[in-house]
Structure 1
Amino acid sequence: MELDLLGEHADRAYAILAGLVMPRPIAWVTTLNEDGTVNAAPFSFFNVFGDDPPLLIFAPGDRPNGTPKDTALNAKRSGEFVVNLVSEELKEAMNGTSATLPHGVSETEHMGLVTAPSSIVAPPRIAAAPASLECKVHSIQEIGSNRLILGIVHRVHVQELLLDREHLRIHQEIYHPVGRMGSPNWYCHTADLFEMVRPK
Structure 2
Amino acid sequence: MAIEAVESLSPVSQSHTSYRQPHHFYLPVDRLQFKEGTLVDLLRTIGRLPLLPIVVCCSTRDVLDAVSYAVANLSHISTASLYSDLSLAERASVLENFREATMKWNQMGTIRSEGDSEETVTIEEQKSHMIVVTDACLPLITCGESPITARLLINYELPTKKETYMRRMTTCLAADGIVINMLVEGEMMTLKGIEQSSGLVISEMPINILEML
Q: What TM-score comes out, normalization by structure 2 length?
A: 0.23
Q: Please identify which structure carries the higher strand content.
A: 1
- Larger Rg: 1 or 2? 1
Higher helix share: 2
TM-score by length of 1: 0.24
Highest RCO, 1 vs 2 (Cα 8 Å, sep ≥ 6): 2
